[in-house]
């Protein structure tokens, strides 16, 4: 037998078995009695496996005896399950016919395997070339409904990930064969082990993406958002892990979703102690009408496998998102060091105030001023003017273009804030078009932050807001846009869009608007933001290379938030700024240098009134900017490793007192170690950190002249300098001799 080790997608005719081979993982499906079953996902196999785990022969139904189909339907590990005909586990697909009855059966029809990968109509999607990407499409059908389901799989050379999506088509030949998709998961697979745990990222406003690790009990465990955004509270990500999984060992199955709206991630531990793991659009309030000839595309989900713990999972996501998802021309570029006026002035600014900040910022080496909320309509607080993207002359007498010219004369670039998806009740737009706001006809909608959400599912509404935003950008030399979004969707109703379709059509509209923006302004640096990181997800990264990570800019809180975010998102995507102390959100004071090191782990920038800083502090900021210029290429392009953490991501680490992480260049010649002591303690010694990703044989030097072999640093460890106090920190830059 020939081994099938190389990267590729294989099909064995005799056993009807599919084998997807990535760098170190295999994904296997096979057909029993026409039903596609999930055989395996895990450590790489060398050959096609048998399909005994599908237990075909144990079912009398499969052996041709009548009467026991239900047992089969409820026990078979369907690759893509459908409800209503005996499978009582949580389904991947639920279709209701025009009489309101739910039921279907999906049988394998055909498949195709090809090089490269197709996009998904109207949705963010991974991409790949014919050289490094292979795809598989499997067609399943239900002849009674006239339903065609195409399961799509893509794999990428060098990355242990399988990207999946689903295309549903109504091919009914009945006169009115309309049916309704009541639930459509983008991925579903089964695991035969029962003792796994799950890690999810939970949070709140200003406390996003905090790891939560727990056992998976019987029944259903789920995470979801029904807020119309992927949300601060739960995140479209799950890692199903073996109980022993740590940073470098154990089985880790990562599941992520390339989507920014309502989602559902669920795990069902069945009566037979198997796991069914689903990820897709939330079925709550979802019902998509599909008439004869119509089709629906589900967003892409990403599955990763690591047999070497959480670290390898992180690297798979980072590589996939960097090489196959983010399209921005800024992806591999140093982003301009910006200063944002939000925490400096909030709404209380005018042209002169911004110019003062710009002048001092310029002296410190800062490269861009971003004018945040409050420059339009008559906005002096959060209670007016969203939807009126015309300049507030009281604050900016010479307009945005006038301010931009003056900022450019100082030697800085300019960026601007918009919240294009919103409308204030106190706005010209609302007075002229109250129906532009999302509301259930006849029911007053709930205000949140004194604002409503625009019904972007209507083309005239999209055009109206797009033209206003584009006009500002067309008429001034703006190089950066912060696209904010500050409330969830409630009271969902529309003059034109069906209820069960609204949330998804809203997301399609947001994606369309952002696509229009980056198409018309290809050089624009777009940063997304949703009251901080409420929509920081792979979907938005398709349009913008960075996302404002959190409104909590406190350096210590950020250790948790940024570690949780970097669990799957590359450092180059994590919007991070140095801000004022005591911190406005938590009231904590942390040294300027620690604030700088923590911001360096992301995109880096400032968010403070620099004019109020002392000469010494400004000089320190100047040094930080220089540090950013010299170290950002390593942070942005290097491989990220968690070295020490207090987050509970790996068992028992909550007892640690410090966070440490590394960024290592791809040739392993350069490495940056950041060590932040969250809490100081009495009679403590320096910490020994086992470094990662280095070359064993290389000798690494620090700027103080000390040198170490990579072998020593990784096996014995690096003894940090003793640092004193809460939030104390130190940076170590290792360079191979």
Place of tokens 């195409």: 150
Span interacting with ligand DGJ, options 274-282, 394-402, 527-535, 648-656, rule CB under 6 A: 527-535
CB of 547 to ligand DGJ, least distance (A): 10
Nearer to ligand DGJ, 102 or 390 (CB): 390
C-beta closer to ligand DGJ: residue 313 or 416: 416
Residue 342 binds to ligand DGJ (criterion: CB under 6 A): yes
Answer for the pair 513, 448: CB distance below 8 angstroms, yes or no.
Answer: no
How many residues bind to ligand DGJ according to rule CB under 6 A?
A: 11
Q: Which of 76, 156, 417, 569 binds ligand DGJ (CB under 6 A)?
A: 417
Residues 482-521, one symbol each (x = binds ligand DGJ by CB under 6 A, - = not), give --x-x-----------------------------------
Rounded to whole angstroms, the Cα distance separating 323 from 312 reads 16
CB atoms within 10 A of CB 501: 20
Minimum distance from residue 382 beta carbon to ligand DGJ (Å): 6
Name the token pair of 118.
Answer: 């197709």
Distance CA 561, CA 553 (A): 10
Q: 615 — phi, psi (to 5°)?
A: -55, -45
Nearest approach, Cβ of residue 553 and ligand DGJ (Å): 9
CB 658 within 8 A of CB 666: no
- Point out which span in 152-160, 286-294, 528-536, 646-654 binds ligand DGJ (CB under 6 A): 528-536
Nearer to ligand DGJ, 424 or 572 (CB): 424
Distance CA 315, CA 484 (A): 29
CA within 13 Å, CB half, 520 = 13
Residues contacting residue 674 through CB under 8 Å, at least 6 positions apart: 597, 598, 600, 601, 660, 661, 662, 729, 730, 731, 732
Q: For residue 557, state whether it binds ligand DGJ (rule: CB under 6 A).
A: no
Side-chain half-sphere exposure of 642, counting CA atoms within 13 A: 30
The span of 67-75, 114-122, 525-533, 589-597 binding ligand DGJ (CB under 6 A) equals 525-533
Binding mask 466-485 for ligand DGJ (x = CB under 6 A): ------------------x-
592 exposure class (CB count in 10 Å sphere: 0-12, 13-18, 19+)? middle
CB 440 within 8 Å of CB 285 = no
Residue 532 is a binding residue for ligand DGJ (CB under 6 A): yes
Measured from the CB of residue 472, what is the shortest distance to ligand DGJ in angstroms? Answer: 16
Can residue 602 be called a binding residue for ligand DGJ (CB under 6 A)? no
Name the residue nearer to ligand DGJ (CB basis): 236 or 533.
533
Region of residue 488 (left: phi > 0; alpha: psi -120 to 50; beta: else): beta
In the complex, which residue's CB is closest to ligand DGJ? 373
CA 228 to chain CA mean position, Å: 15
Please select the residue that binds ligand DGJ; options are 79, 300, 372, 413, rule is CB under 6 A: 372
Nearest to 134 by CA among 155, 120, 162, 160: 155
Can residue 375 be called a binding residue for ligand DGJ (CB under 6 A)?
A: no
**Residue 529 Cβ vs ligand DGJ, minimum distance, rounded to whole Å:** 5
Q: Which is nearer to ligand DGJ, 505 or 577 (CB)?
A: 577
Cβ proximity to ligand DGJ: between 92 and 576 the closer is 576
Closest to ligand DGJ by CB, 336 or 575: 575
Q: Which letter does DSSP use for residue 501 in this model?
A: G
In the complex, least distance from residue 439 CB atom to ligand DGJ, rounded to whole angstroms = 22
Q: Are residues 457 and 496 in contact, defined by beta-carbon separation less than 8 angstroms?
A: yes
Return the range that interacts with ligand DGJ (CB under 6 A); candidates 55-63, 300-308, 524-532, 691-699. 524-532
Q: Which stretch binds ligand DGJ (CB under 6 A): 178-186, 245-253, 515-523, 529-537?
A: 529-537
Per CB under 6 A, the list member of 231, 457, 531, 729 interacting with ligand DGJ is 531
Give 389 or 548: the residue with its C-beta nearer to ligand DGJ.
Answer: 548
User: Where do we find the tokens 């009271």?
Assistant: 491
Segment holding 236, helix H or strand E? strand 234-241
Q: Are 671 and 691 in contact (CB under 8 A)?
A: yes
Q: Is 529 in the site for ligand DGJ (CB under 6 A)?
A: yes
Q: Which one, 208 or 300, has the nearer CB to ligand DGJ?
A: 208
**Under the criterion CB under 6 A, does residue 421 sit at the interface with ligand DGJ?**
no
What is the C-alpha separation between 225 and 212, in angstroms, rounded? 16
Q: Binding of ligand DGJ at residue 554 (CB under 6 A)?
A: no
Please identify, among the stretches 259-267, 498-506, 526-534, 569-577, the one whose residues bind ligand DGJ according to the rule CB under 6 A: 526-534
Examine residue 551 and tell whether it contacts ligand DGJ (CB under 6 A): yes
CA dist 569 and 564 (Å) reads: 9
CB of 347 to ligand DGJ, least distance (A): 8
Of 208, 373, 557, 670, which lies in the binding site for ligand DGJ, with binding defined by CB under 6 A? 373
Catalytic residues: 484, 551
| DSSP assignments along 406-432, one per residue | HHHHHT-EEEEEE-TTEE-SSSHHHHH
* Six token digits for residue 175: 């006169």
Q: Taking the complex as a whole, how short is the minimal distance between the CB of residue 582 and ligand DGJ, in angstroms?
A: 18
Cβ-contact 253, 244 below 8 angstroms: no
Please identify which residue in the block is written with the tokens 């042209």: 351
What is the C-alpha separation between 20 and 162, in angstroms, rounded? 9
CB of 268 or CB of 373, closer to ligand DGJ: 373
Q: Which two tokens stand for residue 50?
A: 């048998």
Strand order across the beta sheet in which 639-644 lies = 639-644, 658-664, 670-677, 729-736, 699-701, 707-709
With CB under 6 A as the contact rule, the residue among 27, 41, 153, 548 that binds ligand DGJ is 548
* Binding positions for ligand DGJ, rule: CB under 6 A: 342, 372-373, 417, 484, 486, 529, 531-532, 548, 551
């Amino acid at each position: 037998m020939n081994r099938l080790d190389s990267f590729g997608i294989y099909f064995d005719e005799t056993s009807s078995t599919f084998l997807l081979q990535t760098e170190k993982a295999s994904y296997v499906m096979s057909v029993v009695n026409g039903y596609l079953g999930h055989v395996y996902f895990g450590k790489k196999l060398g050959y096609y496996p048998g399909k005994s785990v599908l237990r075909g022969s144990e079912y009398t139904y499969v052996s041709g005896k009548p009467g026991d189909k239900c047992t089969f339907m409820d026990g078979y590990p369907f690759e893509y399950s459908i409800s209503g005909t005996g499978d009582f586990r949580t389904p991947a697909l639920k279709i209701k016919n025009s009489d309101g009855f739910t039921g279907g059966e999906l049988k394998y029809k055909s498949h195709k395997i090809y090089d490269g990968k197709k996009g998904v109509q109207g949705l963010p999607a991974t991409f790949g070339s014919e050289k490094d990407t292979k795809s598989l499409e499997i067609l399943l059908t239900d002849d009674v409904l006239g339903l065609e389901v195409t399961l799509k799989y893509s794999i990428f050379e060098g990355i242990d990930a399988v990207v999946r999506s689903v295309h549903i088509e109504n091919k009914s030949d009945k006169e009115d064969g309309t049916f309704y998709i009541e639930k459509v998961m983008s991925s579903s697979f089964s695991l035969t082990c029962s003792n796994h745990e799950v890690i999810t990222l939970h949070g709140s406003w200003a406390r996003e993406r905090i790891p939560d690790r727990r056992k998976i009990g019987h029944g259903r465990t789920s995470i979801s958002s029904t807020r119309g955004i992927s949300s601060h509270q739960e995140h479209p990500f799950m890692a199903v892990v073996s109980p022993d999984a740590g940073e470098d060992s154990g089985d880790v199955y990562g599941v992520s979703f390339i989507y920014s709206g309502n989602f559902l991630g669920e795990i069902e531990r069945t009566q037979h102690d198997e796991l069914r793991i689903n990820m897709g659009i939330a079925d709550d309030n979802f019902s998509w009408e599909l008439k004869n000839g119509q089709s629906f595309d589900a967003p892409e989900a990403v599955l990763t496998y690591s047999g070497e713990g959480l670290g390898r999972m992180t690297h798979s996501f980072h590589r996939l998102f960097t090489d196959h998802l983010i399209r921005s021309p800024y992806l591999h570029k140093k982003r301009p060091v910006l200063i944002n006026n939000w925490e400096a002035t909030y709404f209380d600014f005018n042209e002169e105030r911004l110019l003062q900040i710009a002048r001092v910022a310029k002296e410190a080496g800062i490269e861009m001023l971003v004018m945040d909320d409050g420059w339009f309509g008559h906005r002096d607080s959060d209670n007016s003017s969203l939807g009126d993207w015309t300049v507030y002359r009281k604050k900016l007498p010479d307009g945005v273009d006038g301010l931009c010219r003056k900022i450019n004369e100082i030697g800085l670039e300019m960026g601007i804030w918009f919240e294009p998806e919103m409308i204030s009740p106190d706005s010209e737009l609302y007075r002229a078009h109250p129906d532009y706001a999302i509301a259930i006809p006849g029911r007053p909608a709930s205000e949140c932050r004194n604002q409503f959400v625009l019904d972007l599912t209507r083309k005239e509404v999209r055009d109206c807001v797009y033209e206003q935003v584009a006009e500002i950008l067309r008429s001034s030399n703006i190089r950066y846009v912060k696209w904010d979004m500050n409330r969830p969707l409630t009271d969902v109703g529309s003059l034109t869009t069906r209820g069960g379709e609204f949330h998804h059509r809203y997301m399609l509209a947001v994606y369309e608007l952002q696509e229009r923006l980056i198409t018309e302004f290809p050089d624009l640096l777009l940063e997304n933001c949703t009251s901080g990181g409420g929509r920081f997800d792979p979907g938005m990264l398709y349009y913008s290379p960075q996302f404002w990570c959190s409104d909590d800019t406190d350096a210590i809180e950020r250790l948790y938030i940024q570690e949780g975010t970097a669990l799957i998102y590359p450092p180059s995507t994590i919007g991070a700024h140095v801000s004022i102390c005591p911190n406005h959100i938590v009231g904590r004071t942390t040294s300027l240098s620690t604030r700088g090191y923590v911001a360096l782990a992301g995109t880096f920038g400032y968010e403070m009134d620099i004019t109020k800083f002392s000469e010494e502090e400004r000089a320190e900021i100047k040094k930080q900017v220089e540090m950013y210029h010299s170290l950002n290429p390593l942070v942005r392009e290097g491989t990220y490793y968690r070295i020490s953490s207090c987050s509970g991501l790996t068992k028992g680490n909550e007892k640690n007192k410090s966070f440490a992480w590394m960024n290592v260049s791809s040739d392993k010649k350069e490495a940056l170690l950041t060590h932040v002591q969250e809490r100081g303690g009495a009679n403590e010694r320096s910490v020994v950190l086992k470094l990662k990703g280095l070359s064993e044989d290389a000798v690494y030097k620090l700027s103080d002249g000390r040198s170490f072999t990579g072998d020593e640093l990784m096996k014995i460890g690096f003894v940090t300098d003793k640092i004193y106090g809460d939030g104390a920190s130190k940076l170590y830059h290792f360079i191979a001799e």
